[in-house]
A and B are shown apart, each in its own frame.
Chain A
Amino acid sequence: MVVLSICFLVFSNPSLMLSTMIGASSDALKLAVELCGVYMVWLGILEIVEESGLSQKLAKLLHPLIKWLFKIDDEETEKMIALNMSANMLGLGNAATPMGIAAMKRLDDGSGVATHAVIMLIVLNATSIQLLPSTIIGLRASAGSATPADIILPTLISTICTCIVGVFLVKICGRIREKLKHKKTAIRIKNNGGRK
């Protein structure tokens, strides 16, 4: 993609390339500095949630759902995922990130290929249910809308649709993947048996 866009730029406006790249990376630095502040607050709050035992309660509450979605049985990971999901639902994407990264580290099996649980976590975060689109409501209000909050219901319906479609597709692909794996091992066993 990057190579393609640079090739395009060479034809249209080559002098723009470097300035665009540098501009974007300094934008990223600005974002990173902002994120430092955001993460500071949320990681602090998270630590309190953790120490007070609330995250354990939340994990227990969401345990059936998480088990069904991720097929895992590990309390520490479940806690992280539960917090990640709750933050996402409140529309706090930036607060969800540190927990999501922590959960991801624990789900990774080090083989370099994404496992079912890793894919599920990515898709859940990329299609997360948003209960309160507060930023958008704010933008609408400042643009002079008479009823800025009347998008809540449609947003809720379509965000649930997005999430359900994502989860089911991951589930189906996971099934297919498992079957393929079974077939492969079955063939391997057969071949080995034949040689013997």
Chain B
Amino acid sequence: MSAYILPIIFVALFCYSKYKKINTYSTFVKGGKKAIPLVIDIFPYIATIMIAVALLRVSGITILLAKFFSPIFTFLGVPSQLIELVLLRPFTGSGSFALLNDVLIEYGADSYISRCACVILGCSETIFYVTAVYTSQTKVKRLLYAIPIALIATVVGSVVACLICKII
């Protein structure tokens, strides 16, 4: 079902643009031209944040952090097997998806743990990556309370996720 949504939107869009008498081909090309300059602009930021994340993981700090935070998360009702996932999620998208895959295989796709993991991943975002990329083209240096709020909201969402999975 969900696979049909994008194709339908695209076809509708192309028909609409024809109806508005726009040259779809040249407009598409015109927009696409901006892609490579944009990527060149944001590449250093992506690379730096990925280097920092890789260093964090290899050095074992994430494991220490997981140990440190695990009492808090167990208290809030997050299964202890998923704490690493919750902590890794704000930093890396591909890394947390790889971890999700491990969880799915280890505990079975329909187990409580796996469903929890899926919902947690579905309600959260790669906060640090998003922030780095979005602010890369501005002069903003001090973000004040942006990241703490995003993290708090994500933790609340994860706790709610585990609760709901228990009920449903």
A45-B28, A155-B118 known; A32-B56 Cβ under 8 A: no
A16-B58, A24-B53, A143-B104 known; A32-B146 Cβ under 8 A: no
CA gap between A161 and B161 in the complex, in Å: 9
User: B46 on the interface (CB 8 Å rule)?
Assistant: yes
User: A20 on the interface (CB 8 Å rule)?
Assistant: yes
Could you tell me which residues of chain A, from 116 to 153, have a CB within 8 Å of some CB in chain B? 118-119, 121-123, 125-128, 130, 132-137, 139-140, 143-148, 150-151, 153
User: Do A165 and B35 touch across chains, with their CB atoms under 8 A apart?
Assistant: no
CA gap between A6 and B58 in the complex, in Å: 10
B residues within 8 A CB of A108? 138-140
Q: Could you say which interface size class chain A belongs to?
A: 35 or more
User: A39 on the interface (CB 8 Å rule)?
Assistant: yes
**A41-57 interface mask toward B, CB cutoff 8 Å, 1 = contact, 0 = none?**
10111111111111000
Residue of B nearest to A127 (CB): B153
B residues within 8 A CB of A154? 115, 119, 161, 164-165, 168
User: Do A20 and B142 touch across chains, with their CB atoms under 8 A apart?
Assistant: no
User: Do A39 and B38 touch across chains, with their CB atoms under 8 A apart?
Assistant: yes
User: Do B34 and A98 touch across chains, with their CB atoms under 8 A apart?
Assistant: yes
Could you tell me which residues of chain A, from 25 to 64, have a CB within 8 Å of some CB in chain B? 25, 27-29, 31-32, 35-37, 39-41, 43-54
A-B CB pair tally, cutoff 8 Å: 300
A residues within 8 A CB of B140? 108, 112-114, 118
User: Do A48 and B139 touch across chains, with their CB atoms under 8 A apart?
Assistant: no
Residue of A nearest to B153 (CB): A166
CA gap between A39 and B32 in the complex, in Å: 7
User: B76 on the interface (CB 8 Å rule)?
Assistant: no
User: Do B42 and A153 touch across chains, with their CB atoms under 8 A apart?
Assistant: no
Q: Which residue of A4, A53, A97 contacts B133 across the interface (Cβ within 8 Å)?
A: A97
Q: Which residue of B28, B60, B136 contacts A8 across the interface (Cβ within 8 Å)?
A: B60
User: Do A51 and B104 touch across chains, with their CB atoms under 8 A apart?
Assistant: no
Task: State which of B66-74, B78-86, B123-131 sits at the interface with chain A.
Answer: B123-131
B residues within 8 A CB of A98? 34-35, 38
Could you tell me which residues of chain B, from 89 to 126, have a CB within 8 Å of some CB in chain A? 97, 100-101, 104-105, 108-110, 114-115, 118-125
User: What is the CB-to-nearest-CB distance from B31 to chain A, in angstroms, rounded to a whole number?
Assistant: 3
User: Do A2 and B115 touch across chains, with their CB atoms under 8 A apart?
Assistant: no
Task: Give A contacts to B, CB under 8 Å.
Answer: 1-2, 4-6, 8-9, 12-13, 16-17, 20-21, 23-25, 27-29, 31-32, 35-37, 39-41, 43-54, 90, 93, 97-98, 100-101, 104-105, 107-108, 110-114, 118-119, 121-123, 125-128, 130, 132-137, 139-140, 143-148, 150-151, 153-155, 157-159, 161-163, 165-166, 169-170, 173, 177
Task: Give B contacts to A, CB under 8 Å.
Answer: 2-3, 5-6, 10, 13-14, 16-17, 20, 22, 24, 27-36, 38-39, 42-43, 46-47, 50-56, 58-61, 97, 100-101, 104-105, 108-110, 114-115, 118-125, 127, 130-131, 133-147, 149-150, 152-154, 156-158, 160-161, 164-165, 168
Nearest 3 pairs of A and B residues by beta carbon:
A47-B31, A162-B157, A145-B109
12 contacts between A and B (CB under 8 A): A1-B52, A6-B59, A13-B58, A24-B47, A24-B55, A29-B47, A47-B31, A119-B146, A126-B154, A127-B150, A132-B2, A165-B152
